[in-house]
Amino acid sequence: MENKILLDAKGLTKTFGSRTAVNGLNLRIKEGDIYGFLGTNGSGKTTTIRMLTGLIHPDAGEVRIGGYQLKSHFKDAIALVGAIVEQPAFYTYLSAYDNLMLTANLLTGVTRRRVLEVLEIVGLSDRAKDKVGSYSLGMRQRLGIASSLLNEPKLIILDEPTNGLDPQGMKGIREMIAQLAAEQGITFLISSHLLHEVEQMCSKIGIIRHGKLVAEGDVQQLLSSGGPRTLEQYFLDITEGDGRS
């Protein structure tokens, strides 16, 4: 039985002044996908994610999550989503536990028990009472993922989750995402400018360039076929990104 479409974006367009950041973008993600959203810095990844999460409104197009239109049924749609857009932000003078409790208080039905559960899931239980200011970048990324798990979402959107991490930290994030997808059935949309990271982490890839989706497909299928020459050039451009989010 074919998995249902969980996220369906059609014709997304966003301009800032004279610059078109996203141009008629279509994106469909099925339940169970770990979808890599691949593009160079400035290609439109974060703008797209901001539209998918309702942080900004598209000039044209629509987003549906779990069948709910984001614009007209925002609460129903966004209740299915957990997200980190750009770098996760926390109060550094508070503990991880206290930061998550503040977030939990803004959500419906999230209990203290759930806060403790997500800290366990991301491997931070033993540091839950430590101030976030003492955390490494990798630990803060884990805490961000914990925050995105609080409302038990069906879809988690992560914007460059391994950016700036050392190889061990990147490996830990990849393993956590794979485990959450396998054990809890969570669908992921993960943006990145690193082809190698997406290849190891994701089941499907969509490539965005100048605000347009220029290629899409199963990871192994795209990589084994090599794709057309233009696709190879997109890969080359992406792997030579400058490392900024």
| Structural domains of the chain in order of their starting residue, each with its CATH number | 5-80+153-239 (3.40.50.300), 91-152 (no CATH)
Query: How do 81-84 and 19-30 pair as beta strands?
Result: unpaired
More confident residue, 3 or 166: 166
**How confident is the model over 152-176, as pLDDT tens digits?**
999 999 999 988 888 898 999 999 9
Q: Length of the chain in residues, anyone? A: 245
| Helix, strand, or coil (residue 23) | strand
pLDDT for 200 equals 86
Report the relative pairing of strands 60-65 and 68-69 from DSSP bridges: antiparallel
Q: Which residues pair with 209 in a beta bridge?
A: 212
pLDDT score for 149: 96
CA 23 to centroid of chain Cα atoms: 20
Question: Which pairing describes strands 60-65 and 34-38: parallel, antiparallel, or unpaired?
Answer: unpaired
**Whole-structure pTM value:** 0.89
Cα 29 to Cα 3, 8, 65, 157: the distances in Å are: 10, 7, 10, 11
